[in-house]
Structure formats: C-alpha cells, structure tokens
C-alpha cells in the first residue's frame, strides 16, 4: 500500500472510531418571534444544559435522501434536516420508549405554532387523567411548534414537537412522538414544508452505520 493509501486508510479508521460524521459548524440561533421570546421567558421549567453532541450542528451527510427531507435516527437520538451538497442540520431529540416508537415513512400533513394538546385515549389510560384539551403555551407538552406526521391522508397521531421537559433530550422517554427543544423545533419549523418526507429509522438502523458503510467502500 502506498503512503497516500495508508494515510487515507488511517484517516478513515480514525473517523469510524469517532462519531462517524464530520461536524462542520454550529448553526445560527433559531429565528424566534417576539411571542416565542415572551412565552419562553415564562417557561415553568429550568433551562436544561443540553450535552454538546445533542446541540444543533451542520454535519456531513452521506445518505441519499433529497434536500428538505427529515430523517430521525432513533438509536442515536438525532434528527437530520437534509441540505444540499451532502450536508444536514443535526438536532438532538428525545424519542419514544421501546414498543411505543413510530418508524417508517410519513409526510408532513400539518404545522402549528404553540399548538393545543389533545391527549389520546391511550395516553389518558396510561398517564392520565389529563384535561381533554390543554391550551398552547410554555407549560404545554407540545411546546413551541408541532409538525404532524401523516401516512397518506391519515393523521398517524405521531408528531415532531417541542417540549416542556428539555432535560430528556437524548433519551428514549416519550410516548412515541419525537421531542426537540423549543428553540430547535422553531428552527426546524421555519425550514420544513407541507408534504415533506419524514423518514424515521427503526431500531438497529442508523445514519452512522450508513456513513460507516460508505467509508468502508471507499477504503
């Protein structure tokens, strides 16, 4: 093997031993509205210290989804918004507990700012009782934004949404929905379009394994 080939092989090995994808830069602050800032200033929870790996970054992205697609890596607790030129914005998320998590392909069927929360019958049975409807606001479990996932023309009842429990970002804790910090979901909401594709990878599949396969083929 030539010196150049050895160097490239070593670089690939080091990357695979690390986080599997190159972090290019943090993104700018989310574009919060005056209403967002007012409501978040009265949030009834302590500001959580989100670990560095779950903070919002622009990263290299090797999968084949089209720009504008949302990809949720359930195992790694990351959500990717795919950008042009093999890049993506990576956000930390909380995902559903085992046996309650959604996986598959959906589309964005509805978007809402500071949405009301209507607990499902299942949530009422397991975790209630809750009011039939909880008004939108900083104490609401859906947080600042909700992105509603549809399968065909039918609401799947799964959402990507904000949270009033930011300390759980990076964990599998929810009743199936995908939680983001309120600033991150506001940032994603400002980018996503109605009808956009959402790919939620099942346990055992991850963006990192895709990256590993790409580097293996190149070495």
* Ordered structural domains, the chain, with CATH: 22-204 (2.40.440.10)
- Rounded (5°) CA angle 193-166-164: 80
Of 177, 188, 192, 207, the catalytic one is 177
Q: Which of 50-54, 116-120, 147-151 has the lowest mean pLDDT?
A: 116-120
Q: Does the annotation mark 161 as catalytic?
A: yes
Residue 39: predicted pLDDT: 95
- Confidence at 136, pLDDT banded by 50, 70, 90: very high
Entry pTM: 0.83
Long-range contacts of 120-129 (CB under 8 A, 24+ apart): 120/157, 122/175, 123/175, 126/175, 127/175
pLDDT above 90: residue 128 = no
Q: Does the annotation mark 19 as catalytic?
A: no
The sign of the dihedral angle between the CA atoms of 164, 167, 169, 175 is negative
- Whole-angstrom Cα distance, residue 88 to residue 63? 10
For residue 5, how far is the Cα from the chain centroid? 37
Q: Which of 50-54, 58-62, 162-166, 201-205 has the lowest mean pLDDT?
A: 201-205
């Amino acid at each position: 093997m030539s010196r150049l080939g050895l160097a490239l092989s070593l670089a690939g090995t080091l990357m695979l031993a690390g986080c599997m994808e190159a972090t290019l830069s943090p993104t700018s602050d989310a574009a919060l509205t005056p209403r967002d800032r007012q409501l978040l200033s009265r949030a009834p929870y302590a500001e959580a210290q989100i670990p560095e790996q779950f903070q919002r970054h622009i990263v290299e992205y090797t999968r084949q989804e089209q720009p504008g697609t949302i990809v949720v890596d359930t195992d790694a607790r990351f959500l990717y918004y795919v950008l042009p030129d093999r890049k993506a914005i990576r956000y930390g998320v909380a995902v559903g507990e085992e046996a309650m998590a959604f996986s598959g392909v959906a589309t964005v069927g509805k978007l809402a700012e500071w949405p009301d929360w209507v607990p499902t019958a299942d949530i009422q049975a397991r975790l209630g009782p809750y009011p039939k409807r909880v008004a939108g606001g900083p104490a609401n479990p859906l947080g600042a934004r909700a992105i509603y996932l549809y399968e065909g023309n039918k609401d799947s009842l799964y959402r990507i949404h904000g949270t009033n429990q930011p300390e759980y970002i990076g964990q599998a804790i929810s009743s199936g929905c995908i939680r983001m910090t309120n600033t991150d979901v506001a940032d994603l909401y400002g980018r996503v379009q109605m009808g956009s594709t959402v790919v939620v990878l099942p346990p055992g599949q991850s963006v990192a394994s895709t990256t590993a396969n790409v580097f293996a083929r190149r070495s």
